[in-house]
Chain A
Amino acid sequence: MTAASSPPLLVVGAGIAGITTALEAAEAGQEVVLVERAASVGGRVLRNHQYFPKLCPPACGMEINVRRLERNPRIRVLTQARLEGAERAGATSWRVSVRQGPEHVTAACTACGDCSKVCPALVADPVNLGLSEVPAIRIPFLDAWPRRYVIDRAACPAGCQRCADVCKAGAVALDAQERREELEVSAVVLATGWTPYPIDKLPELGGGVLADVIANVHMERLAAPSGPTGGKIARPSDGRVPRRVAFVQCAGSRDVKHLPYCSAVCCLASLKQALYVRAQQPDAAVTVYYIDRRAPGLNESMLANAAAAGVQLVKGKVGGVRQGPDGSLILRVEDVEAERVLEAEADLVVLATGMVPSLGDVPLPVRRDVDGFALDDAAARVFTAGTARRPEDVAASTRDATGAAAKALCAARSS
Chain B
Amino acid sequence: MPDTTPVSAPAAEARPGSVKPDPILVVDSVRRTFGGLTAVDVEHLEVQRGIITGLIGPNGAGKTTFFNLITGFDSGGSGRFTFDGTDASGLPAHRIARLGMVRTFQLTKALRKMTVLDNMKLAATGQRGERFLDALAAWRWRSQEAEVEDRARGLLDRFRLGHMADEYAGTLSGGQRKLLEMARALMVEPQLLLLDEPMAGVNPALVESLLEHVVELPKTGTSVLFIEHDMDVVMSVSDWVVCMAEGCVISEGPPDAVRSDEAVIDAYLGTRHGQTRAQAEAGGQSTEAEEPA
**Are A and B associated in one complex?**
no
Q: Which residues of A contact B (CB under 8 A)?
A: none
Q: Which residues of B contact A (CB under 8 A)?
A: none
